[in-house]
Amino acid sequence: MTGQAFFVLTALADAPRHGYGIVREVAELSHGRVKLKIGSLYGVLDRLAAEELIEPDREEAHDGRLRRYYRLTRDGRRALAEEADLRASTARVVRSRLGLSGAEAAG
Amino acid sequence: MSGGLDLEQRYRRVLRLLPGYYRLVWEQDMVAAFLESSLTGDPDEDDWIVEFSKPPWQEVASVAALAVRLYLGGTGAPRRYFAWGQAVRRAVLAVTLLQAVRGLEVLLLTAWSRHVFSWLPVPPARLAAGTPAGIVPPIVWWLVAYAWIVSFVALALGRYYRTAQVIAALAITPDLVWLLQGDFTRAFQGPSLGPWAFWVLLNFVPVLAMTAFHRDTPPAARWTWLLALVAIYLLVAVPLTALQTSGNSAWVPDAAGLYCVLAALACLAHVPRAWSRQAADSGVWSLTLTLLAAAAGAYRALSLTDYLHDPHQVQVSLAELLILILAVAPIVPDATRAQAATPAPARPRSGYPR
């Protein structure tokens, strides 16, 4: 799973979001380090939808435009959980090899 | 808001880079997300933004990158785009293969001249793997030759696509430096387009086209391609070397002629398959060979300017061009059908039990 896909799935983990909502959430999750461009975002959304990891949730009117919301599918939740476990275990190994405790690594 | 739709219209113009089927599904959504990301909530500032600002180049670049991935499609793409994607990828592999054969030739000639093959006689002086004169040091030319082998193997293995592209981009740089130096110092006499045609058609364009290798790319038939490296070396490079060694270099065509002959032979070998239409993949190969023949033909035509002083060479070059056209003509109809007849493999689903 690419970093962008991981962030997009994470952005959808707690609630359905529309395109710009995902961009904002990803920027927040990554502390501003990942700023998704719209072309990149929809490349990722298209791929995740084709792999049935996300699906449309609903459409809402906003300022005269339709916002389409997306949500995780059951498979999307499982894939995200597995990826999170993998990344967490990798992070633990990195901390251990660097001789860092959790607090030091966070600080 | 006099120009209320201006930014939207400009962005929609950018989105025209994307294939129609994709825009049908995603365009409205992309426009909404883009406008929301561009506006600030301050009515005055937003009026100005909507009326005068343009989509930032990073946004345009992200749409262009998406367009390349979609037009040169992989698994899950519509038939037409999958066919083009596969044809471009195979054409790139074929060109990289030929460059790798040259690299292998340099590698083995160097080894031979350094007596690595002790059972062989000392190689003739005319076979010494020389390097072009200029500001590029010889060691760089050796590295370039080997870089093509690495790039080809990376592509054939179906991994490390971006690494292969970066290595190939570095490998074509010394040639560019050499060409620019030649132009500035007027080392090329007369209207010589050949070296530039070679660089653009067989170096720059293939490196650019390596973008067609992406995450959705089905893996190439790796062993077939790797064996092809050895086979082409043995069937093409070794006989050419033997001709040069035996003093029969008059029979050896120049680079453009060699590419025309190779492309023509490949087309002729493919004709029975293209006409039988039994193999599902035949159309994509026809499209691949048509692309390669177009590149070889363009190179031959442009390099004619190298021989304006030599009517015999012009005649030989025109004959090579004619042979190529006659060889590619029978497979062009199959190539045009390929776009409608090649189903893409389905994109893998998430794989979780339902």
List residues of chain A with CB under 8 Å from any CB of chain B.
2, 18-20, 23, 37-43, 45-47, 50-53, 62, 65-68, 73-76, 78-79
In this structure, the answer to whether residues B146 and B196 fall within a common structural domain is yes
Cross-strand bridge partners of residue A58: A69
CA B340 to chain CA centroid, nearest Å: 23
Helices (H) and strands (E) in chain B, counts: 15, 0
Highest mean pLDDT among B38-52, B92-106, B108-122: B92-106
Question: Contact at 8 Å (CB) between B141 and B107?
Answer: no
Structure tokens at B265: 């032979």
Within a domain: B351: no
Residue B90 pLDDT exceeds 50: yes
- Name the amino acid, one letter, at A106: A
Q: H helices of B114-188, where?
A: 138-156, 161-184
**Greatest Cα pair distance in chain A:** 55
* Contact yes or no for A79 and B347 at CB 8 A: no
Residue B43 with chain A: CB contacts under 8 Å: none
* Contact yes or no for A38 and B58 at CB 8 A: no
In this structure, the answer to whether residues B326 and B277 fall within a common structural domain is yes
Pick from A38, A46, A74: CB nearest B62:
A38
Q: Which of A25, A28, A11 is nearest to A70 (CA)?
A: A11
User: Per residue, what are the HEC states of A46-82?
Assistant: HHHHHCCCEEEEEEEEECCEEEEEEEECHHHHHHHHH
Residue B337 pLDDT exceeds 70: yes
Question: Contact at 8 Å (CB) between B136 and B254?
Answer: no
What's the CA gap between B29 and B22, in Å, rounded? 11
Mean pLDDT computed over every residue of chain B: 85
Residue A105 pLDDT exceeds 70: no
| Confidence band of B2 (pLDDT split at 50, 70, 90) | very low
In this structure, the answer to whether residues B34 and B53 fall within a common structural domain is yes
| Confidence band of B106 (pLDDT split at 50, 70, 90) | confident
The reply to whether B57 touches chain A by the CB within 8 Å rule is no
Within a domain: B237: yes
pLDDT digits (tens, 9 = 90+) for B247-299: 777 777 888 999 999 999 999 999 988 888 666 677 889 999 999 999 999 99
Q: Which domain holds residue B317?
A: 253-342
* Nearest 10 degrees: Cα torsion B242, B247, B251, B254: 80
In this structure, the answer to whether residues B262 and B206 fall within a common structural domain is no
Cross-strand bridge partners of residue A60: A67
Q: What is the mean pLDDT of residues A25-33?
A: 91
What's the CA gap between B327 and B330, in Å, rounded? 7
What's the CA gap between B339 and B302, in Å, rounded? 29
Q: Of B74 and B135, which is predicted with more confidence?
A: B74
At B317, is the secondary structure helix, strand, or coil? helix
Mean pLDDT computed over every residue of chain A: 88
Residue B158 pLDDT exceeds 50: yes
If you measure CA to CA, which chain A residue comes closest to B216?
A: A47
Residue B351 pLDDT exceeds 60: no
Q: What is the mean pLDDT of residues B58-75?
A: 91
Tokens 């650019």 locate to B208
| Confidence band of B39 (pLDDT split at 50, 70, 90) | confident
Q: Which of A100-104, B68-72, B209-213 has the lowest mean pLDDT?
A: A100-104
Whole-number percent of chain B with pLDDT over 90: 40
If you measure CA to CA, which chain B residue comes closest to A82?
A: B352
In this structure, the answer to whether residues B48 and B83 fall within a common structural domain is no
* Contact yes or no for B59 and A38 at CB 8 A: yes
Q: Of A22 and B78, which is predicted with more confidence?
A: A22
Q: Which of B268, B258, B317 is nearest to B289 (CA)?
A: B268
Q: What is the mean pLDDT of residues A9-27?
A: 93
What's the CA gap between A83 and A87, in Å, rounded? 6
| Confidence band of A69 (pLDDT split at 50, 70, 90) | very high
The residue length of chain A stands at 107
Q: What is the pLDDT of residue B30?
A: 92
Q: What is the pLDDT of residue A60?
A: 84
Q: What is the pLDDT of residue B277?
A: 66
* Contact yes or no for B28 and A66 at CB 8 A: yes
Cα of A87 to nearest chain B Cα, Å? 19
| Confidence band of A12 (pLDDT split at 50, 70, 90) | very high
**Greatest Cα pair distance in chain B:** 84
Residue B352 pLDDT exceeds 60: no
* Contact yes or no for A65 and B64 at CB 8 A: no
Q: Of B235 and B310, which is predicted with more confidence?
A: B235
Q: What is the pLDDT of residue B17?
A: 94
In order of B17, B18, B163, B248, B279, the CA distances from B61 in angstroms are 11, 12, 20, 52, 38
How many degrees, rounded to 5, is the angle at CA B324 between CA B285 and CA B328?
35
Cross-strand bridge partners of residue B106: none
Within a domain: B28: yes
Sheet holding A65-72, edge to edge: A17-18, A65-72, A54-62
Residue B303 pLDDT exceeds 70: yes
In this structure, the answer to whether residues B208 and B263 fall within a common structural domain is no
At A17, is the secondary structure helix, strand, or coil? strand
In this structure, the answer to whether residues B58 and B116 fall within a common structural domain is no
Q: What is the pLDDT of residue B328?
A: 94
In this structure, the answer to whether residues B19 and B102 fall within a common structural domain is no
In this structure, the answer to whether residues B52 and B12 fall within a common structural domain is yes
- Name the amino acid, one letter, at B238: V
If you measure CA to CA, which chain B residue comes closest to A54?
A: B350
Q: What is the mean pLDDT of residues B39-59?
A: 84
In this structure, the answer to whether residues B52 and B87 fall within a common structural domain is no
In this structure, the answer to whether residues B107 and B130 fall within a common structural domain is yes
Residue B81 pLDDT exceeds 60: yes
Pick from B26, B34, B349: CB nearest A51:
B349
Within a domain: B348: no
Q: What is the mean pLDDT of residues A34-61?
A: 90
Q: What is the pLDDT of residue B3?
A: 43
| Confidence band of B189 (pLDDT split at 50, 70, 90) | low
Q: What is the pLDDT of residue A42?
A: 93
Within a domain: B349: no
Question: Contact at 8 Å (CB) between B47 and B1?
Answer: yes
Q: Please give the tally of structural domains in chain B.
A: 3
Domain A3-106 is of which CATH architecture? Orthogonal Bundle (1.10)
Residue B29 with chain A: CB contacts under 8 Å: 18-19, 42, 68
* Contact yes or no for A40 and B26 at CB 8 A: no
Residue B190 pLDDT exceeds 90: no
Q: Of B64 and B51, which is predicted with more confidence?
A: B64
The reply to whether B302 touches chain A by the CB within 8 Å rule is no
In this structure, the answer to whether residues B81 and B191 fall within a common structural domain is yes
Within a domain: B321: yes
Structure tokens at A75: 């498979």
> Can you give the residue ranges of every domain in chain A?
3-106
